[in-house]
Structures are given as C-alpha cells and as structure tokens.
Amino acid sequence: MNPYTELLRLSPVGVLVLAQIILFVQDLVREDKRLSQYISAAALALTCLLSVYLASSGNTVSFANSTFVFNSLAYYFGVIFSLSALLVMLSAGSFLGRAEYAFEFSSLAILGVLGSFFVASSTNLVALFVVFEMATTATYGMVAYARRSKLSAEAAIKYFVVGAVSAGIIIYGISLIYIATGSVSISSVFSVTSQSSQLLDVGVILLIVGFGFKIAAFPFHMWLPDTYEGAPYPATTYLASVSKVMGFAALVRIFLVMGPAIYALGGLNWEVIFGLLSILTMTFGNLAALVQTSMKRMLAYSSIAMSGYMLIGLALGTSFSYAVLLYFMLTYAIAKAGSFIVAQFFESEHNAKSIDDYAWLARKSPLSAFSLTIMLLSLAGIPPLSVFVAKFFIFYASVQVGGYWILLAIAGVLNSALSLYYYARVIKNMYIGLAGESPPPQGPRLERIGYMIPILTCLVLTIALGLGEGTVIAVAKHAVTTLSATVF
C-alpha cells in the first residue's frame, strides 16, 4: 500500500495522538484553560470529518501486525465517538472555567476517544480488553473531575469499583475462551476441543456480563444512576454517549465476527441472552424513569431504557439489525448528549435540578427549551425524528425475523408508549408550568452562545438524521457486510 494512503487511513487516530502531544506541550509552556479546550475540540472535529470521509469511502488499513484493523465499521464508530466527544468539549467551557485545571479533562476526553476508536478496530480479545480499559480509565478520571465535590467522588468510587469487578469478569471470560479455543483473536473461524465447548460458553457469558456493565444492561446497570447523577455534567454526557457506544462497539465487534461460530461450536444461544436482557433492561429503565423527580436521574434511567432498545439489534443478529443498531447508536448518542447539555445549561443558568424546576423555562430560554423538546420527543420515538426512525427500523427488523423475536418489537412499542409519559412531563413543565401556578414575569432571555453551538448542532442532527436516514444506513450496512465478510 502506498505509505501516504496508509497515513491518510490512520489519520483519525493520528490526529488524536498528535493533539495529545500538543496538549502536553501546551500545558508545559503555558497553562491556558481555553486553549486546551479549543485544541481538543479542533482535533475531535478533524477526526470526525476524517472518519466520515473514510467510513463512507470504505477503506481498510491494518495497524500493528493486524492487531488493529481500521475498516468502515471502525471509522463509523469513530464518527460517533469523536462527534459526541466534540459536543462534550464544546459544552464543557463553563465547567472547565470554574474547574482548577482544564488540561487533564481535555486530555482524558481525547484519550478516551482514542481508546474507544481502538476498541472498535481490535481483532484480538486481549488487545480489545486493554484499550477498553484505557477508555474506561479515562472516564474514571472525568467522573472524579470535580474533586471538591463529595458527590463526584462518590460517583467515581462506585463507578470505579463496579468497573474493576467487571474488568475482572471480562478477563476471566477471555481466559476461559483462551483455554477452550487456544486463541485470543476475534475471528470467525476457530475450533474447540470437544470437551471444552461448555467452557467457551461460560467464557462468552462472562464477556456479556462484563461488557453489560458498560452498556448498563439490567441487572448490571446499578452503578449508572448514581454515577450519572454525581458526575459533573460534561462527564455524564461523555459517559452516556461515547462510553456507552464504546461498550456496544466491543459487543458488536465480538459477536458480529464470532457469533455464528460460538453458536455452532458451543451451542450457546447468545441471541436469546441479549433478547432477555433487552426486554428486562428497557422495561426496568422505563419504569424507574417514571418515578424520578430529578432531571439528571430521569435521563440516566432513560439511557438505560435506550440500551434495552439497542440490545434488540444484537439479539436479532442479522446483518440488517446490526446496521440498524449502528444507526441507532448515532442517533441515540446525539439526542442523549443534547439532552444532557441542555440540562447542564439549565442547571447552571436557572439552577434547575428537579423536573419541577423546569417550570416555565421555555419563557426564559426558548431556543434551548425547544431543542430539549425536540430531543426528548426524538428519544420518545415521535416521527419524523431520528430516534423514531431508528426504533422503527429495529422493530421492523425484529418483525422481519419473525417467530418469538416479534416479542421484542411488542415490548419495544409498549415501552416507547410508556416512556412518552415522563418525557412529556418535562416538556409540559417547560411550556405550561406546574398545575395551579401562575407564570413568572417575562424575565430576561438567557441563552449562552457557548452552549447554543452544541445544542443547536444536536438539534439539527436530530432532525436531519431522521429525514435523511438513507445514506447513514447505507454506510452502516456497508460497514457491517464488509466486516462479516472479512476473515481475520
């Protein structure tokens, strides 16, 4: 391969590594909070654009003796990671302004994306585990970033302990798979000694449990509400978008390639496991979100519920369902990140924490309230917004597969209807206030430009991705088919 082509194809990660070095140097020369924020945002934007280009043009390049292979799938995930992280960095301005240091946050965000990018491209379970831990460690630091806040520290400790246990479970699973197959590479062809097929299955189940922590599937979700609530908002946004999609990336990477062989050799019905987790997760998340009074916690539980819908994509295991899952993750990450950013803005500007505090906010900040409305409606699955399209396709996929899998679609539709209730409550509060309370006088309208850029980006993308879903799904389909066709 032409070295320049190779360089171009590695450029998304290259840009991030370079940005990290620049950040180190910049921090040594002169501490400047704004500058480090801008550098990381610029690097993420560049990565995002490069990934979009490379994902749509279907390139492949391998790195480090084929331990990491960057193909359309990896680039597609890279788009989600860098775009969400970019949104985080854009919205983190005022948080970093108040924090003691800004350099570490920017660096951790970049390193987290770098790790996630490699997760989506690894072809080896051990390598995948190491980069997975790299990305997770970056989020530990981010969650603990508000060092003086007791909540932040508590959130970080919980997250860390549960994360450490799940890391142990993953490595246990990998070692069992290694014993069973004698190989740690993620490949569609492997063999087991006949007696150890069960060992392989147990290993795979442990992998699902370990990664289930990251995507917060029921019952491995328990850390999530506390951590989301305690972490500073930018970290929460990062967890809900980059980090969660990274968990799915690992699962997609493993099961898309190894799935059929696991079923054939070990006889493990991993699709049923995902289906079971999916129904439990979405039902639990929605029911719990119904009774929340804090906005941040409600969004946290709703993100658990969204994991449930996305798990359908894994449960069906068809190439169409994987493609829809990819599209779903993009729309989810944007809508969720956008909601958290608006919540952050409302908390810093209007001191709005509980859902009741959201009363009349549409009068005070009409544009952000409108954006939040659109994004919540999108999450609730109102056409023609993007998450609706994603849900529609994923339910369609399960109907297409037929049989008992239709149950997933039914559960999903019922849950979506249920979820409308708690999303609508926020919207109602913002626009027509609480019952029996008269509106406040028309105050000054507060909309900060620093927040409006990411919020409006999310708004436009939420609408645009719903209307123009064709191209994205075409790219996702291409990514899935190239990967499942390639043998490593």
Partner 1 sequence: MAYSEILFMFVAGVTIISALGVVVSKEIVRSAAYLILALVGVAAAFSLMDSLFMAMIQLLIYAGAVMVLFLFGVMLTRKEAPAKRRRLLSRTNLSYLILSVVLFFLVARSGLMDTSVLGGIPGPVSAIAPSLYTEFKGVLYALAGLLVTVGLGAIYIVKKEANEGKNA
Partner 2 sequence: MASFAELVWLVPVVPLILSPFPIFAGDKLPRKGSFVAIFACAVSTVISAGALLTLPSIPYNVSVQWLLPGTATSIDVGFYLDGLSALMITITSGIATLILVYSLEYMSHEEGLPRYWTEMMIFTGSMLGFALADSVILMYVFWELIGACSYLLIGFWYTKPEAASAAKKAFVLVRVGDVGFLIGMILLYTNGHTLNLPAILSSPATLISSPQMRTIIALLVFAGAIGKSAQLPLFPWLPDAMEGPTTVSALIHSATMVAAGVYLVARLYPFFQVAPYALLVVGAIGALSAFVAATMGLVSFDIKRVLAYSTMSQLGYMMVALGVGAYGAAMFHLMNHAVFKAMLFLSAGAILHATGARDLREMGGLLKKMKVTGLAFLIGGLALSGIPPFNGYFSKDLIIGAAYQYGLVTGDFWIYLLVLISALLTAAYIFRAFFVAFILPPKSGATKEVHEVSLTMTIPMVILIGFTLVTGWLWSPLMDVFQPFVTYAASLGATPQAPSYVGLLTLAFALTGIGLAYLVYIRATVPPERFSSGRVLSKLRNLIMRSYYFDAAYDRVAAGVENGIALALDYFDRFALDGLVNGIGRSLVKLGRDFRSMETGEIRNYVAVMVIGAVLLILLFEVL
DSSP 68: E
- Please identify, among the stretches 72-80, 196-204, 234-242, 457-465, the one whose residues bind partner 2 according to the rule CB under 8 A: 196-204
**CA proximity to 315, closest of 385, 389, 210, 411:** 411
Q: How far is CA 419 from CA 192, 365, 373, in A?
A: 44, 25, 14
Euclidean distance between CA atoms 224 and 423, whole angstroms: 19
Least distance from C-beta 285 to partner 2, angstroms? Answer: 12
Q: 201 — alpha (psi -120 to 50), left (phi > 0) or beta?
A: alpha
Taking contact as CB under 8 A, which single stretch among the options 21-29, 32-40, 201-209, 247-255 is the one that binds partner 2?
201-209
Bridge partners, residue 294, by sequence: 354
Selected from 2, 29, 30, 195, the binder of partner 1 by CB under 8 A is 195
Q: Is 269 in the site for partner 1 (CB under 8 A)?
A: no
Instruction: Kindly provide the residue ranges of all beta strands, DSSP E only, lying in 92-194, ordered along the sequence.
Output: none
Interface with partner 2, residue 290, by CB under 8 A: yes
Task: Provide, rounded to whole angstroms, the least separation between the CB of residue 413 and partner 2.
Answer: 9
Q: How far is CA 408 from the centre of its chain?
A: 21
What sign does the dihedral 470-456-238-281 (CA atoms) show?
A: negative
Specify the amino acid at residue 217: A
**Is 107 a binder of partner 1 (CB under 8 A)?**
yes
Does the footprint of partner 1 cover residue 488 (CB under 8 A)?
A: no
Q: Report the partner that residue 209 touches, choosing among partner 2, partner 1, none (CB closer than 5 to 8 A by kind).
A: partner 2
Does residue 291 bind partner 2 (CB under 8 A)?
A: yes
Enumerate residues 6+ apart whose C-beta is below 8 A from 150: none
For residue 182, give every residue at least 6 positions away whose Cβ sits within 8 Å of its Cβ, in sequence order, or none: none
Q: Pick from 319, 286, 232: which is nearest to 421 by CA? A: 286
CB count within 10 Å of CB 24 equals 12
- Helix (H) or strand (E) holding 315, with range, is helix 295-316
| Encoded tokens for 202 | 């147990």
Considering the rule CB under 8 A, would residue 134 count as an interface residue with partner 1?
yes
Helices (H), ranges, 244-385: 244-266, 270-290, 295-316, 319-350, 361-364, 366-380
Cβ proximity to partner 1, 147 vs 445, nearer residue: 147
**396 near partner 2 (CB under 8 A):** yes
Q: Is 469 in the site for partner 2 (CB under 8 A)?
A: yes
Instruction: Kindly provide the b/e burial profile for residues 343-368, where b requires at least 16 CB atoms within 10 angstroms of the residue's own CB.
Output: bbbbeebbebbebebbbbbbbbbebb
Please state the closest distance from residue 242 (CB atom) to partner 1, in A. Answer: 14
Q: Which stretch, 124-132, 292-300, 362-370, 458-466, contacts partner 1 (CB under 8 A)?
A: 124-132
199 binds, among partner 2, partner 1, none (CB under 5 to 8 A by kind): partner 1
Tell me the HSE value of 383 on the side-chain side, using a 13 A CA sphere: 3
Interacting span for partner 1 (CB under 8 A) from 101-109, 306-314, 338-346, 460-468: 101-109
SS3 269: coil
Decide if 37 contacts 453 (C-beta within 8 A): no
> Could you tell me the smallest distance in angstroms from the CB atom of residue 461 to partner 2?
17
Which helix (H) or strand (E) covers residue 61, if one does?
strand 61-63
Q: Rule CB under 8 A: choose which of 15, 48, 201, 338 binds partner 2.
A: 201
Q: Which does 138 bind (CB under 5 to 8 A by kind): partner 2, partner 1, none?
A: partner 1
Does residue 165 touch partner 2 according to CB under 8 A? yes
Q: How many residues bind partner 1 (CB under 8 A)?
A: 43
Q: Contacting partner 2 (CB under 8 A), which of 264, 435, 449, 485?
A: 435
Site of interaction with partner 1 (CB under 8 A): 20, 63-68, 100-101, 104, 107-108, 111-112, 114-115, 118, 122, 124, 126-127, 130-131, 133-134, 137-138, 140-141, 144-145, 147, 176, 178-179, 182, 193, 195-196, 198-199, 201-202
Site of interaction with partner 2 (CB under 8 A): 154, 157-158, 161-162, 165-166, 169, 198, 201-202, 205-206, 208-209, 212-213, 219-220, 222-223, 226, 268-269, 272-273, 287-288, 290-291, 366-367, 370, 382-384, 389, 392-393, 396, 399, 431-433, 435-436, 438-439, 442, 467, 469-470
